[in-house]
Chain A
Amino acid sequence: MKKQKNLAGLQRRKAISGYLFILPFIIGFLAFMVKPLFQSLYMSFCDVQVSPEGITNVFIGIDNFLRAFTVDTEFNRLLLEEISRMCINALAIMVFSFFVALILNQKFKGRALVRAIFFLPVILSSGVILGVEYDNALLASVQSMVEETTNTASVSDAIQEILMTTGIGVSAFEIVFDIVDGIYDVAIASGIQIIIFLSGLQTISTNMYEAAAIEGCTAWESLWKITFPMISSLFLVNWIYTIVDFCMRTDNEVIDKISTQMITHINYGFASAMSWIYFLIVIAIIGVSSFIISKGVYYYD
């Protein structure tokens, strides 16, 4: 009886120290996440007037949301563009990073150097630098100048033209060529994803591959039958990370519009409404896609 009581006491003490450890998070979460979240939700239904004395919220119902969808001229277009860009890019990033991780997991000379180069964008293409880089008109103008002077079209243009003239599945080709042209964007956005895939690849024991090879499995088969299932859970992690990362990017035009509305036009209500619309759409995409992906995830243990 006494022993049991002691145990309960120890458990209670452990629970208390556990709470003490996560206390900073709880405070921060309540003060800087929950409160602003509800406040911004409330503001999205209000006309917010800012004066030196304070803020006054006048409740106006769903006017802000209606304004975003029906009155504002560019919001719908920007939203659609960004969401479709996000989906296409995220898919391309997944394929690219999986492929690169497979190659980087093999042994060859200079692997350390190549790895270092592939992770470089994690550092160099974050935050403002990406935004600055994005409209590097100089690079484009130099390239076009080179093309003009040497009078040759690029290879991808030539192939595109040939495929386009056949007239089959033009829109599908367009998406593919958009990705090919934007391979630089994909490459610089997939640093972390490559690390995550690599870490997964390294945990797969070589015994499995050996056993498969002895049974007469080709490399191609073991890629699909061993590698793919073993790291399938990482596809989910990477997918979510990619989408979240995309929302944070500085060259995201929806975010740009929201912050101009907020800082330049001091239109807090409208800005909140727009950010909530964007947020809900992104959450919906993450939810649906992770549900679909998690159906296919295989857990070894």
Chain B
Amino acid sequence: MTKKKTNSNQMGFWERNRRSEGYLLKKVLKDISWKIARVVLLFGMCFLILQPILMKISVSIMEEQDLYNAMVISIPEHFTTDNYHRAAEFMDYAKSLLNTAVVSLSIAILQITVCTLVGYGFARFEFPLKKFWFACVIMVIIIPPQTISTSLHLHFRYFDIFGLSKLITGETINLRGSVLPYYLMSAGCMGLKNGLYIYMIRQFFRNIPKELEEAAYVDGCGTLRTFVSIMLPDAKPILTSCFLFSFVWQWTDGFYSKMFLGNIKLLATQLAVIADRMDAWMVNVMKVPGGASVGYTNCIVSTGTLMVIVPLLILYLFAQKGFVESLSSSGIKM
């Protein structure tokens, strides 16, 4: 019965194919071959992206002897969790994790709050010199912060507001190594990639129809009330994704952390020095004169990297929609 059915179906196909003068067969073959090619391509590229992470996982559970064993490639012969303990010790993991979480969260909240205000101001109000100020936002996006890093360094080393503190105490305040400068910069929209957030939030607010705003005004909402109770709820998706990006990029940022937050133990800065710590530990504690071997150092660095990104991975698993979907649906246009 079934055989007959498929047979008739096939007949139908060939019949249709004959009538279309071979076009149908060509089309089906083309579709199938493209599908296969696509699967191969995508699989290859996904593997390319995931491979370093998988490699790190497998290396992080290997004992040192496995690293040099040519027979062991990805599945360890001697399973161990020592690497994790050691990396946690070198990075002071619990403390740095807490610090990083607190700093990233507070910075992200601050930055997105300020950027939302500014983005809204650029999108919904007409005022003199608006074009000029917006050009300044674009400039902030384009100017690499490294250009001004030298003078920012000194700016906060000898910090003073209009010479007030010098007048009172006779000397300037040294803000280097404290968190304050970075919070100040974030409050002024000059943190990591803040120009980009302003730009994205402005683009979103611009697309909200003017009627909505006018209706709110007619109903007696003030400027602030319109912003808080009409505009903000609408902007939730874009604000979520900006917040997530801000959080994640702050988490892994090395530049600002190294410059301003050097005294606090952050995962990003700790990870950068983990290899040196390891070397020192090998020489001083384990009494190995040559320090750590290249392979083992790399193993610990991989473990450390893994430990830094695991919280982000978990976040990404749960908030993946927030990262991607809102961005791709709201769109970024010139």
Contacts and interface: CB of A to CB of B under 8 A. Distances in A.
Interface in A236-272: 236-237, 240, 244, 247-248, 250, 255, 258-259, 262, 268, 271-272
Contacts of A115: 324
Interface in A132-188: 132-133, 136-139, 141-142, 145-146, 149, 183-184, 187-188
A187 B248 contact: no
Interface residues of B, number: 94
A199 B155 CA distance: 41
Secondary structure at chain A's binding surface: helix, strand, loop or mixed? helix
B172 interface: yes
A122 B52 CA distance: 15
Interface in A23-52: 24-29, 31-33, 35-37, 39-40, 43, 48, 50
Interface string B148-173: 11111111001000000000000010
A149 to B, nearest CB: 6
Given A40-B150, A187-B48, A126 B332 contact: no
Interface string A97-134: 00010010010100000111111111110111101110
A93 B285 CA distance: 46
Interface string A192-205: 00011011101100
B70 A32 contact: no
Contacts, number: 272
Contacts of B290: none
A103 B143 contact: no
Interface stretch (A1-9, A71-79, A209-217, A279-287): A279-287
Interface of A: 11, 14-22, 24-29, 31-33, 35-37, 39-40, 43, 48, 50, 54-55, 100, 103, 106, 108, 114-124, 126-129, 131-133, 136-139, 141-142, 145-146, 149, 183-184, 187-188, 195-196, 198-200, 202-203, 233-234, 236-237, 240, 244, 247-248, 250, 255, 258-259, 262, 268, 271-272, 275-276, 278-279, 282-283, 286, 297
8 tightest CB-CB pairs across the interface, nearest first? Answer: A28-B188, A21-B121, A18-B125, A127-B252, A138-B298, A128-B254, A15-B127, A39-B151
25 contacts: A18-B121, A18-B130, A21-B117, A22-B117, A33-B143, A33-B190, A35-B151, A35-B155, A37-B147, A37-B148, A43-B150, A119-B324, A120-B316, A122-B248, A124-B312, A133-B52, A183-B48, A195-B324, A195-B328, A199-B327, A199-B329, A233-B333, A236-B334, A268-B153, A278-B146
